Chains A and B, each alone.
Chain A
Amino acid sequence: MLKYIGKRLLAMIPVILGVTLIVYLIMSLAPGDPARTILGEQATEEQVAQLRSEMGLDQPIIVQYFRYIWNLLHGDLGRSYQSRIDVSTEIFSRFPNTIKLALTASLFSVILALPLGIIAAVRQNTFFDSFSMFVAIIGISCPTFWFGLILILVFAVNLKWFPVSGQVDNFKGMVLPALTLAFNSMASMARVTRSSMLEVIRQDYIRTARAKGVSNRNVILRHAVPNAMIPTVTVIGLRIGGLLAGAVICETVFSWPGIGRLLVQSIQSRNTPVVLGCIIIFSICFSLVNLIVDILYAFIDPRIKSQYQ
């Protein structure tokens, strides 16, 4: 198992290099000049050209890229074109907020989705099943932007139970943004759990367990649920990765100082070092989450564990 983990960690290096190359090329080929964006409309062409030269942007793209990689290997992510602050400082001042939000949202969605999906499958074709899947469809269809504003209006402005936005340092401030993010994830997780459970509870070994007189509760919790978890865990892993990178709208609505909003702002201003820094962090997180999911498979399903040994 350790050998497998080591191999997977080493495999992340080419992944990250590949991602940086692709992003660097896209940012370089996109129209828009970082020097002009920094200097604004008052600057003359000569001043813009001078700044381009000072920033090394007049060099061939490949030279710029390898210089970036060389600095990266020395632990230097560069400086933001806009704020002139170290990219690592910019990113790591916000990254904990993103992690907090993504993990809390994941927790909320798992807590809501698993029971919903399991009960919907066990009570297939009942009112509860229809209701659960109705909630799931609402969750998938509901725009994050709209849902967030409704939560603010109801629970922050009218009931005053939670703050409207910001307040990253207390749990109350995290509830509404995390619920907003969780609602969409919860919906897809619940649907996958339900379909996976439906498939499992029709298997022969479940019928055998029932024939042997095992209680319905034990059949579901000890035999069906663990076997139905593989697709669910896969979806949970993907959703956590997605929440880390894709919380931009939620961060905007709740003015949450996370990394997603920083990334979008940096793309708009052609702030290549910050974009690359964010993408590298996302790549590492996504790879790590996938690795953790693969390791979890082994614990959930002994057949997979035996393949590692």
Chain B
Amino acid sequence: MKKLLGLLLAVTMLFGMASLAAAEAKDTLVVAAPDESANLSTTGHDALQTAYLNVLSYNGLMKLDYSMNPVPDLAESYEVSEDGCTWTFKLREGVKFHDGTECTAEDVVASMIAAQSEPNVANFTKDYTKVEATDKYVVTITTDGYNSNLLYSLANHANFVLPKALLESGHDFNAEPVGTGAYKFVKWNHGDSIEFVANEDYYGGAPAFKNLIWRFIPEGTTRSLELEGGGVDFVIDVDAANMAGIEANDALKMIVVDSISLQFLNLNDTKGALQDINVRKAINCAINKQAVVQIAENGHAMVAYAQAPIGFSGATDEGCDTEYNVDKAKEYLAAWGGDPATIELSIICSNDAKVRAAQVIQSNLADIGINAQIERMDLATYLDVTAAGDHTAFIGGYTASSMVQYLMMNFHSSAIGAANKSRLNMPEVDALIEKAAAARTTEEMTEILLQVNTLINEQAPQVSLYQNQKLYASKAGVENVNVLPNGYFYVSEWTWAE
């Protein structure tokens, strides 16, 4: 009997040790993402889904902290000259690329010069005019006057650092990324997944998860079911309809982030009646934005009134109408003096959520006599039509890493034909945005941004609708997950606890 008990004890201990080993052996993290990146380069895109992957494999001189402030990354420190035109960055020594070579100032210079010729990321490379390696570990960047936006741009994937030798040899970074990041690229299974392995030499310390599998699961419900079924550990872009099921499951957790991505009804201010400020303000007052949020996003968003996203310093509601008020809308139309039935407004939508938002807007505008149409277009057609300025209206969104960058892209006249699709062209606005970019202190910049935002709010070039919440979910064991308001996250900081 004793022998039998002893045997049972031994077997139990063996199983116990085996399960302990299994707990410790959680060395592979599986992430489910909705979209497959077309390429993995740092400069051939401006898409968040690819930026997630860039952040895994690369570093820049700067990175954004969780409050969206730029902090040194590959740079150890930096200083700015008195005239604000020369920025000197001291690099960390001993940082290795995935191919084993050391990252030096020459690599930074080669990467930033190469990035300047890429149109996809033009907005993030125009802040500097010259980049030089003044020492093995010192990079000097020249700007055209003081430019506070430079540090944000250096934190963008556009300016991530690649090995100079590989750049010069014509290495295909689209297919095989090589950087200094926490995860090394292993294999791209097209249409299915990308495999990474931890960079044991990562300057920030080797990541907790030795292997990372980045799966592409386009269907939202399938992503959530994979999480419930245990096939993945972390889900990007949880379908709002699946949130309740995840929240009810103790083994899973939801991560909800108030984003700085602003969704808006863009109005082409150069077309017909939309040239009149009263018409634009009437449209703004006539839209029940709470209803738009409920119908388009299942309530997972924050109603927006200001022309620029709330969350950055310098954002303000000052100067804009902040209520749904049909009577006031009618007053604005009366001040315009025309017949609302003659206003041409065709709202272009490129996905289902936008169509749902447009349906609410269409119904609201009918209350003030405007007959809006809804046009469904695929992304390619939408981009083409709106860039050419052939539209009257569309529902779109924009995510920036700083207020200056947001204003520069959406309201500066130099961006007409690119992202300034309301085609606002006000020299006063341009001058203030440029002045904010050149401000030397945060206080000074905030003051100028408040001025320019108030001015833009008063012009109502487009109608802000809401700021999304970004929805992520993970197994309860995945810890230390933090997400920036722009959607970035650093997997190298994540850990696992049973």
Contact = CB atoms under 8 A, between A and B. Distances in A.
A32 B381 CA distance: 4
Interface string A31-62: 11110111111111101100100000000000
B215 interface: yes
Interface string A262-281: 10010111100000000000
B217 A268 contact: no
A44 B192 contact: no
B323 interface: no
B174 A153 contact: no
B268 to A, nearest CB: 15
Interface string B216-236: 111101100110110100000
B493 interface: no
A163 B385 CA distance: 42
Contacts, number: 144
A138 to B, nearest CB: 21
Contacts of A223: none
A289 B418 CA distance: 48
A165 B46 CA distance: 29
Contact of A42 (B217, B229, B384, B419): B419
A166 B192 contact: yes
Interface in B28-72: 36, 38-39, 44-47
Nearest to B227: A164
B429 interface: no
A93 B418 CA distance: 35
A119 interface: no
Interface string A7-30: 000000000000000000000001
Nearest to A92: B190
B82 interface: no
A164 B384 contact: no
Contacts of B39: 82-85
Given A36-B380, A42-B123, A149 B231 contact: no
Interface in B190-218: 190-193, 215-218
A149 B123 CA distance: 42
Contacts of A268: 378-380
A164 B192 contact: no
Given A164-B229, A165-B231, A40 B215 contact: no
A51 B175 CA distance: 21
B145 interface: no
Given A152-B222, A165-B217, A253-B222, A40 B190 contact: no
A72 to B, nearest CB: 22
A153 B229 CA distance: 9
Contacts of A90: 190
A252 B174 contact: no
A29 B189 CA distance: 33
A240 to B, nearest CB: 21
Nearest to B420: A41
B237 to A, nearest CB: 14
Given A166-B215, A257-B192, A39 B119 contact: yes
A103 interface: no
A47 B231 contact: no
A82 B119 contact: no
B349 interface: no
Contacts of B44: 84
B417 interface: yes
B191 A262 contact: yes
B121 to A, nearest CB: 7
A255 B215 contact: yes
A305 interface: no
Residue among A39, A82, A267 with most chain B CB within 10 A = A39
Interface string A82-105: 111100001001100100000000
A225 B429 CA distance: 80
B218 A32 contact: no
A261 interface: yes
Nearest to A160: B229
A261 B218 contact: yes
Contact of B380 (A32, A47, A166): A32
Contacts of A253: 219, 222
A269 B380 contact: yes
Contact of B192 (A31, A51, A80, A255): A255
B446 interface: no
Nearest to B172: A84
A254 interface: yes
A33 B190 CA distance: 25
Given A47-B122, A165-B217, A32 B191 contact: no
B380 A255 contact: no
20 contacts: A30-B381, A31-B380, A31-B381, A40-B119, A41-B419, A42-B120, A42-B122, A43-B122, A43-B418, A44-B119, A48-B387, A80-B38, A84-B39, A93-B190, A97-B191, A157-B229, A165-B225, A166-B193, A265-B36, A267-B378
Interface of B: 36, 38-39, 44-47, 119-123, 172, 174-175, 189-193, 215-219, 221-222, 225-226, 228-229, 231, 377-381, 383-385, 387-388, 409, 417-419
Given A255-B192, A269-B380, 12 more contacts: A30-B381, A32-B384, A41-B419, A42-B409, A48-B387, A85-B39, A94-B191, A149-B222, A164-B229, A165-B222, A168-B192, A255-B216
* 10 shortest interchain CB distances as A-B pairs: A257-B191, A32-B380, A82-B38, A257-B192, A32-B381, A47-B119, A43-B119, A255-B217, A33-B384, A31-B381
